């Protein structure tokens, strides 16, 4: 069972706070020269997440497995803090550069421990192959030290360590079945799960939850 532990994620600006609050965060894309930021809650110890930007709440009541989508923010340096309602606090930093997208992944810290974060940066998605699909995989499943992800029973991502994100894989558009196994094992922890890949799109696939009850969520990387 998941513990009933809410998490508050605070995006606290330590350079340019006034500019960020004045401009606000746009939920759909960014203006030229802006950065993009999204949050993904993969902390299976938390039932809900609330998000604040420099003390101003912007995301309330989000459930485990949910994400904010990308929001445009001014480039600059940000302090990212994840605080549980038990008082445990995790801290990290982002330097947001122009025209770069950032994913902040919230991971469970375990009992009586602060939430942890991983921050991944991506340049703009290129469109040189509009009929292909770009996939990445993240192992965020607690207790799963490394994971394999299979597409149609073929290993697409092998031995991805916990808390890390795979390199990009390009595949043809179409329908696939996803399975997640412990690295090198045949028996699946979850799957098959259907995935429809639209031409020209990019997706991040996240395995999360405890190893005994793994879940898979797919996030559209459109910006």
CATH architecture of structural domain 7-122 = Sandwich (2.60)
CA distances from 130 to 8, 98, 116, 169 (A): 38, 24, 36, 14
Residue of 84, 214, 39, 41 lying closest to 142 (CA atoms):
214
Domain layout of the chain by residue ranges:
7-122, 132-220
pLDDT at 127: 56
Is 2.60.40 the CATH classification of the domain at 132-220? yes
Relative to beta strand 169-172, strand 202-210 is: unpaired
Contact between 94 and 36 under an 8 Å Cβ cutoff? The reply is: no
pLDDT tens, the chain, 223 aa long: 344 345 555 555 443 333 333 344 544 556 888 999 988 988 887 666 666 656 555 666 667 888 888 989 899 888 787 776 666 667 778 899 999 999 989 888 777 777 788 999 987 665 567 789 999 999 999 999 999 999 999 999 999 999 999 999 999 999 999 999 999 999 999 999 999 999 999 999 999 999 899 999 999 998 7
Contact between 52 and 17 under an 8 Å Cβ cutoff? The reply is: no
Residues sharing a CB contact under 8 Å with residue 191, sequence separation 6 or more, in sequence order: 150, 177, 178, 179, 180, 216
pLDDT at 122: 85
Contact between 122 and 100 under an 8 Å Cβ cutoff? The reply is: yes
Burial (CB count <10 Å: 0-12, 13-18, 19+), residue 159: middle
pLDDT at 20: 38
In this prediction the pTM is: 0.84
pLDDT at 5: 43
pLDDT at 41: 87
């Amino acid at each position: 069972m998941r513990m009933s532990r809410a998490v508050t994620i605070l995006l606290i600006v330590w350079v340019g706070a006034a500019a960020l609050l004045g401009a606000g965060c746009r939920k759909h894309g960014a203006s030229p020269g802006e950065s993009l930021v999204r949050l993904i809650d993969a902390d299976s110890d938390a039932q809900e997440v609330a998000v604040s930007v420099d003390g101003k709440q912007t995301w309330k009541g989000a459930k485990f497995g949910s994400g904010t989508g990308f929001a445009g923010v001014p480039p600059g340096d940000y302090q990212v803090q994840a605080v549980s309602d038990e008082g445990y606090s995790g801290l990290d930093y982002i330097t947001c550069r122009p025209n770069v997208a950032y994913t902040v992944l919230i991971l469970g810290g375990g009992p009586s421990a602060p939430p942890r974060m991983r921050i991944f940066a991506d340049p703009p998605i290129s469109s040189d192959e509009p009929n292909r699909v770009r996939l990445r995989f993240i192992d965020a499943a607690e207790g799963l030290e490394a994971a394999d992800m299979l597409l149609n029973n073929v290993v697409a991502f092998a031995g991805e360590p916990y808390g890390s994100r795979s390199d990009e894989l390009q595949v043809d558009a179409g329908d696939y079945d996803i399975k997640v196994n412990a690295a090198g094992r045949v028996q699946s922890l979850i799957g098959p799960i259907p995935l429809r890949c639209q031409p020209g799109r990019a997706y991040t696939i996240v395995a999360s939850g405890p190893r005994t009850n793994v879940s898979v969520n797919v996030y559209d990387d459109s910006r």
